[in-house]
Chains A and B, each alone.
Chain A
Amino acid sequence: MGEPYLANGVDWGDLVLAVGKAVIAFAVLLVAVMLMVWFERKVVGRLQNRLGPNVAGPFGLLQTLADGMKLFFKEDIIPTRADRFVFQLAPYLSLIPAFLTFAIIPVAGDFSDGGNGSVTIFGRETFIQVADLPVGILFFLAMSSLAVYGIMLAGWSSGSKYPLLGSVRATAQAISYEAALGLSLAAVLLVSGTLSTNGIVQAQAGEGFLGIIPRWNLIITGFVPFVVFLIAGTAELNRPPFDLVEAEQELVGGFHTEYSSIRFALFFLAEFMNTVTMSAIIVTLFFGGPAGPNLGFLPGWLWGFVWFFLKLLVFLFTFVWFRATLPRLRYDQLMDLGWKVLIPVSLAWLLVLAAVRLVRGGQIDLVTDDFGNTLLVIVACFAVLVIGGTLLSMAIRAARQERLAEKGLIAVPSEGTRS
């Protein structure tokens, strides 16, 4: 794993290539974010039977640019009770992890016919992504756990109560859902056998089942990790229906209530950047990223980009769709969903996947010689899970009964349960 061109030392050409890739990725991501803001406003507008932005530029495409200019020229206010240094630092702590995560995403490349998606630039073989770290997916987890700091410190340093409440909620939410996110991700790592994003895409490329169904991790891991990842990812992004962090009706504006001008714009930018990046991560992990058939008449690596972009669009639309459709969860519902549903489900599914993988010796084809054996393991696993799940839900119910009894809200069930 790792970048092929870094195998034998580094010279100036390599440096130029690395810096060039970073600059291009930054520019592309900024344009993508600009279009994403427009896309979200347009789609939400249509879903709510409105027109959405339609004045600035064709189809209102330049609306985001106009808003950005407006924010630039507004007064930059720092509250008197704010902790000045941390207050000024927080927006950057939000933005920088948001951008850095994008570095590990393979955006293009030819993965058909066993290709590894590399292209040759200036005589150097490289992947079309800013960096292919040997532990790429851990980098994503590290950055998403660092992004909490931006929100947390913004709320704390404002010296005001609504931002503080918003940031305390944000932190609790991020910590809770990161566990589910990591566990559903572990399922993908289990079947891919690598942490590198390029390796994960390569594992999903090539001939699928029965010739038409692609070898996406979505199918190999059995849908459940994908659903958990999508829910936990939405919560990690603080997007509706998990946007308790900035619940306008309760918290004025949440953690960024006291921010104005360009500092607010940075938070806004980071939020949409995270949405784009999270969609790209989902595409990479579960939908094969840029892997897809090479249909000819275009260079192979460009087909990779076409497939990647089409898949990305689906998820960008899904996130906007969520926002326009789903009402916000209550705080206790949020915590219940994270701790009592998502984490047990993803943990149990990981165990099933591991058991099945063990009995099949790493084969992923549908029909193998020891099909009966596999079936037996799967049935046994599910039997264990059903028993475990029943016990867990009984425990949760008993705990709730006891809690209500202690508060005197219901009659005490029996003398034995009270201590």
Chain B
Amino acid sequence: MGSSKAKSATASGATTRVVLPADCRIADLPGVKSELQAALITPAAELDASAVERIDTAALQLLAVFCREAGAKGHTVTWLGASTVLRDAAALLGLTQTLELPAATPA
């Protein structure tokens, strides 16, 4: 898990990686949003949500906005990992498809 609340977007060439914090809820979203905005600049983005322990609707909405916009630009979004918490929440809100969450959790 690690303390992933700090600066965690890392751009390497054409891909930007965004690591979502363990507590991914409304209060922490402004930071996540700016990282996602940065990730929109590069043609490919990697999202790492394996550390997410808590998540709320606002966060899922933010991710949905991001994924939709990236898709509209023809960018690729890859999930490096998605915790069960995030998957369950996304499923409950009917956002699994929008977020293009993969069926199983990669390591």
Physical interaction between A and B: no
